[in-house]
Amino acid sequence: MSHYFTGNAKTTLVLLAAFAVIASAHIAGAAGQKIRVYSVEAKGYIMSEKVIKTDDEWRKLLTPEQFEIARKAGTERAFDNAYWNNHDKGVYRCVCCGLDLFDSDTKFESGTGWPSFYAPIAKENVVTKEDRFLIFEIRTEVLCARCGAHLGHVFKDGPRPTGLRYCMNSAALKFVKN
């Protein structure tokens, strides 16, 4: 006897499968497990849950420099940071939560003294907001989508294919070599 599903039965099965995936992710997240979703198109992990900690909790996990830059929107000195001249292949992750942010394949020499990339590993992994800290210039701040860490700024003077320059602070990143 041959079994097949018609329209309503197929829809029900798809909805049940989707519900099972969402429920298991919710249960795992509630149990404190990190949930990562791999994205083939983006060559990395996309953000799937938020990480929220107090300043005291972040201070225990980060060096004073990392805390000042990632949690208080500081900026490190140009040409005097870990990754501005790094040419190894690998992935740059958020120093606070470990989310994959940039791939070495998108890194380029901007001449600014900070590590610069023309695109994030997945657009969902970073968020941007208007930064009016400088009186004479409105900039676009780049933050980790998972934990809100300040990463740096993005400018519209980068190379092709995007024309963007994600100018990041090394202290907000952790490089993992391939």
Predicted pLDDT of residue 46: 60
Name 129's Cβ contacts closer than 8 Å, sequence gap at least 6: 140, 141, 143
Of the residues 97, 144, 147, 167, only one is catalytic, namely 167
- Is 94 catalytic? The answer is no
Q: Give the residue carrying structure tokens 């602070």.
A: 169
Which is more confident, 101 or 36? 101
Domain boundaries along the sequence of the chain: 1-33, 38-177
Give backbone dihedrals phi and psi of 134, rounded to 5 degrees, phi first: -85, 130
Write out pLDDT tens, residues 10-68. Answer: 444 333 444 343 334 433 343 343 434 444 445 565 656 899 999 999 999 999 999 99
**Residue 147, exposed/middle/buried by CB under 10 A (0-12, 13-18, 19+)?**
buried
Beta strands in the chain (DSSP E): 37-39, 44-46, 90-94, 100-103, 107-108, 116-117, 126-131, 139-144, 150-155, 165-168, 173-177
Neighbours of 130 (CB within 10 A): 8
Tell me the whole-structure pTM to 2 decimals.
Answer: 0.74
CA distance 14 to 6: 12
**pLDDT band (50, 70, 90) for residue 9:** very low
Q: What is the DSSP letter of 3?
A: -
d(CA 169, CA 102): 12
Provide CATH code, domain 38-177. 2.170.150.20
Higher pLDDT, 12 or 94: 94
Q: What is the pLDDT of residue 132?
A: 83
Three-class SS state of 22: helix
